[in-house]
Structure 1
Amino acid sequence: MSFEDWMALNQLYSDYAIAVDSGRWDSWPEFFIEDCSYRLQPRENYDRGFPLATLSFESKGMLKDRVYGIQETLFHDPYYQRHVVGTPVIRKLEAGRIHAEANYAVFRTKLSGLSTVYNVGRTIDEVVRTEAGFKFASRLVIYDSEMIPNSIIYPI
């Protein structure tokens, strides 16, 4: 992997976090290719090989539907979130595909409250090069705690 590709991969992870932390929901699906996968799964299920996921989207169209839900149909107590993302670790390089993994922590701040740790875990990603730069082909978000807030509205 070239230095330029390494920097572009790190930029993808940083730009993703900034977009979801800034509430730019329309830009979230644009980090993915059309035929993509995004899953949010508890670590216990992942470790045991169970397929059950808290959220599972199997195309960019499904991600856009989630954005529509966030913006137009879901009613919830608003909050801010802030990602702290570790440097991605390259697990495997294939022709045109990068298999990477990164740790993350998400903090949540409700408008009338203190900031709290909201979600912690790791992502297992497949990244591909497109004409528009690197994009996620799949993103598996594995959160560590079996206990999560009663709803996860925004993407991790």
Structure 2
Amino acid sequence: MKLDFDTWLAVVQLQADYAAAVDSGRWELWPDFFTDDCVYKLQPRENHERGFPLSTLAFDGKASLRDRVYGIQETLFHDPYYQRHVVGTPVLRGVEGDGAIRCESNYAVFRTKLNGLSTVFNVGRYLDRVVRTPDGLRFAERVAVYDSEMIPNSIIYPI
């Protein structure tokens, strides 16, 4: 896969569609942004930089993402909130031998509780491995590396 303007634009669209889906609260859309054998992690910066595998959330495969969606919709009890992603322009870092695109983008997620003000919820960068599928570009790997060592008492929704 060549790194040209059309490829970059397709990555930008994938990121925008992802943010719109998770911000809409339509959680059933979330797994479809990934390949069947995907990896999704939410990991503290310190662990990532030191090469430690411990992550706040870690899912292997689309089936585990669907399980998380089920948990969000049916079993987890929490104060509901809205979230809104602001995602920076992706930087395409290169293409691997199998054609996968390595890219990176900064993000900020704001949270609004139903009876409160909006607050900064999570800030960091996405480290993505994106592949072309018959259905368009999908995340084979998405690692959200967050900057703060402190996070709210629970992270329910995908970052």
- Map of 2:113 onto structure 1: 110
Would you say the 8 A contact 2:8–2:92 is kept in 1? no
CA distance in 2, matches of 1:53, 1:152: 12
- Kindly provide the amino acid, as one letter, of the partner of residue 111 in structure 1: L
Q: Secondary structure at the match of 2:82?
A: strand
In the alignment, does 2:43 pair up with 1:55? Answer: no
Percent of pairs identical after alignment? 70
Q: Aligned to 1:129, which of 129, 132, 149?
A: 132
Q: Which runs of 5+ in 2 are unaligned?
A: none
- Kindly provide the amino acid, as one letter, of the partner of residue 144 in structure 2: V
CA distance in 2, matches of 1:60, 1:130: 14
Task: Report the TM-score, using the length of structure 1 for normalisation.
Answer: 0.98
Which aligned pairs between 1:7-86 and structure 2 lie closer than 5 A?
A: 7-86=9-88
- Kindly provide the amino acid, as one letter, of the partner of residue 136 in structure 2: G
CA distance in 2, matches of 1:2, 1:99: 14
Q: Which runs of 5+ in 1 are unaligned?
A: none
Summarize deviations over 1:116-137 as a string: whole Å, max 9, x none: 0000000100000001100000
CA distance in 1, matches of 2:4, 2:102: 15
Summarize deviations over 1:5-26 as a string: whole Å, max 9, x none: 2211100000000000001100
Task: Note the C-alpha offset of 1:2.
Answer: 2.7
Q: Which contiguous aligned blocks of 4+ residues in structure 1 show a shift greater than 3 angstroms? A: none
- Map of 2:149 onto structure 1: 146
Q: Which sits farther off after the overlay, 112-121 or 86-95?
A: 86-95
Summarize deviations over 1:80-102 as a string: whole Å, max 9, x none: 00000000001111242100000
How many residues of Structure 1 are paired with residues of Structure 2 in the alignment? 156
Task: Note the C-alpha offset of 1:62.
Answer: 0.2
CA distance in 2, matches of 1:115, 1:3: 35
Task: Report the TM-score, using the length of structure 2 for normalisation.
Answer: 0.96
- TM-align CA RMSD: 0.7
CA distance in 2, matches of 1:22, 1:89: 25
- Kindly provide the amino acid, as one letter, of the partner of residue 35 in structure 1: D
